[in-house]
């Protein structure tokens, strides 16, 4: 192939991610020309409500998948945390490159940490996963809806609309905004979303030539960890807007998977940690989901 077209969202972070994959592909394949097709998605346009109320995070990928179906694009680059656990028929994740930092970060110009915030102080997030974990530990804080891309969220914080916000570490790092973070939230404090920090390259399942071109970008350890995390979500309903967190780490032949499910108000939280064969990430994810279900996860999620 002489030319590839990557479908991408229009946000600065999404464009950075697509450009990153473009440069990697052009460096790998001499003579290959890679173009970007920036698109607006429903997830980017619906800024007045939480994603779980608007139809889930799949709203960030549908327009990109339509561009591939219609032949306007050959592949799409996503943040894996935005990709539903079950892809539509005919699509496949062809490669998951090495993961960036999967943690969340606390950002504030007034306070050093969530623990330092006084009763009634406002924390901005649109994530049920984040808000539930914050409320569980700090019920005195006020969680307020915060939508928009990274730059928009930071601008709202700077205007004083919130006293603190919580963002993904990977997004700040990719945009060169690491200096904005006030404190890194360790996974023990804030368990990440399945696939957080990882990129996914999606294409039509039948396009073997595309899959072959992007295959060298895949990282085996990251792929296995993300598959385990997504398996938890899939086994518990598959909706990536659920208040569900999962984070896997592989060390040699062993994988450790931590996961949790919470009620939206943070009053009920169930957790588990399982270890198993890194070569069987789907089995490990299903085992974690089973343990969460035994603790009442499905009742909490209403599935």
CB 181 within 8 A of CB 105: yes
CB 288 within 8 A of CB 295: no
Tokens at 69, concatenated: 């179906």
C-alpha count within 13 angstroms, C-beta hemisphere, residue 131 = 19
Q: Which of 44, 74, 82, 104 is catalytic?
A: 82
End-to-end CA distance of the chain: 45
Active site residue 82: yes
CA 266 to chain centre: 20
- Distance in angstroms (rounded) separating the CA atoms of residues 245 and 258: 8
Query: How far, in Å, are 212, 243, 247, 264, 299 from residue 187 at the CA level?
Result: 34, 15, 8, 19, 25
Directed axis angle between helix 281-294 and helix 220-235, to 10°?
30
Q: List residues with catalytic annotation.
A: 82
């Amino acid at each position: 192939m002489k030319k590839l077209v990557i479908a991408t969202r229009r946000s600065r972070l999404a464009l950075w991610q697509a450009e990153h994959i473009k440069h990697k592909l052009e460096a790998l394949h001499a003579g290959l020309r890679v173009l970007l097709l920036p698109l607006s998605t429903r997830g980017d346009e619906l800024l007045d409500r939480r994603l779980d109320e608007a139809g889930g995070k799949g709203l960030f990928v549908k327009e990109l998948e339509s561009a591939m179906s219609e032949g306007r694009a050959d592949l799409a680059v996503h943040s894996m945390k935005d990709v539903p656990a079950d892809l539509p028929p005919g699509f496949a994740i062809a490669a998951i490159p090495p993961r960036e930092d999967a943690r969340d970060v606390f950002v504030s110009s007034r306070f050093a940490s969530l623990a330092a915030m006084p009763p009634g102080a406002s924390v901005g997030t649109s994530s049920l996963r984040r808000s539930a974990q914050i409320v569980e530990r700090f019920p005195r804080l006020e969680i307020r809806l915060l939508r928009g891309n990274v730059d928009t969220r930071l601008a709202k914080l700077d205007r004083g609309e919130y006293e603190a916000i919580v963002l993904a570490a990977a997004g700040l790092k990719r945009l060169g905004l690491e200096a904005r973070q006030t404190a890194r939230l360790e996974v023990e404090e804030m368990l990440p979303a399945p696939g957080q920090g990882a990129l996914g390259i999606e294409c039509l399942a039948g396009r073997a030539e595309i899959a072959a071109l992007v295959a060298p970008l895949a990282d085996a350890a990251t792929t296995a960890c993300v598959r385990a995390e997504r398996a938890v979500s899939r086994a518990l309903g598959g909706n990536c807007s659920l208040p569900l967190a999962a984070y896997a780490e592989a060390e040699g032949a062993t994988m450790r998977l931590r996961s949790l499910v919470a009620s939206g108000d943070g009053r009920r939280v169930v957790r588990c940690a399982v270890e198993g064969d890194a070569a069987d990430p789907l089995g490990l994810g299903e085992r974690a989901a089973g343990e969460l279900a035994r603790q009442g996860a499905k009742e909490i999620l209403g599935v």
